[in-house]
């Protein structure tokens, strides 16, 4: 009886290209139907002055520059491309902290047109309330910056939070 040899089937190519330095979230976006691409802005945040209170909530939002009002703030009805909220300590605010703000899809044609707004206010993060809907409270320390392209870190923005 002759033995039959099977030739292995060629593997189908997925079309996904993974480059050195890509994050695992980029891989998920590339392999998830309908997501397209994920992007991130590495934001460095530091407070210029101490804020009063025991616990603090940091809100970070990024917008396309096309939705900014004349004073540089987003229009009231503008929706951020990405947002997050988290608890921070007085020590973190004094020393500064690095936060990655992730967004899905293509944000704008020119990455320099991405503007990051952040503020810190007394209180705890409210995970029932979406950070995209949040607006700074009276007395919150605020800051904003236009993102810059860094050859090593990608898109970055540096914010110094000050009294409004």
Least confident of 42-51, 62-71, 115-124, 129-138: 62-71
Q: Is the pTM of this model over 0.85?
A: no
What pLDDT was estimated at residue 141? 92
In 3D space, the residue among 101, 105, 109, 104 whose CA is nearest the CA of residue 155 turns out to be: 101
Per-domain residue ranges for the chain? 39-163
Is the separation of the CB atoms in 125 and 76 below 8 Å?
A: no
Q: What are 35's two structure tokens?
A: 């997501």
The pLDDT tens digits for 70-105 are 776 777 788 888 889 999 999 999 999 998 888 776
In 3D space, the residue among 47, 83, 51, 75 whose CA is nearest the CA of residue 159 turns out to be: 47
What pLDDT was estimated at residue 66? 80
Tokens 């934001």 locate to: 43
What pLDDT was estimated at residue 7? 64
For residue 31, give the 3-state DSSP assignment: helix
> Which top CATH class is 39-163?
mainly beta
Distance CA 138, CA 157 (A): 24
């Amino acid at each position: 009886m002759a033995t039959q040899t099977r030739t292995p089937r060629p593997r189908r190519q997925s079309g996904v290209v993974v480059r050195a330095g890509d994050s695992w979230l980029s891989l998920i976006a590339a392999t998830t139907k309908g997501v397209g691409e994920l992007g991130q802005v590495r934001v460095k945040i530091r407070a210029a002055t101490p804020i009063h209170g025991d616990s603090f909530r940091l809100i970070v939002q990024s917008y396309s520059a096309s939705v900014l009002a004349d004073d540089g703030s987003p229009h009231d009805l503008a929706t951020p491309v990405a947002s997050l909220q988290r608890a921070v300590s007085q020590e973190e605010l004094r020393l500064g902290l690095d936060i990655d703000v992730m967004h899905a899809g293509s944000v704008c044609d020119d990455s320099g047109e991405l503007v990051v707004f952040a503020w810190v206010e007394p209180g705890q993060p409210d995970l029932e309330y979406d950070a995209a809907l949040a607006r700074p409270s009276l007395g919150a320390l605020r800051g904003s910056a236009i993102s810059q392209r860094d050859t090593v870190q990608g898109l970055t923005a540096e914010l110094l939070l000050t009294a409004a």
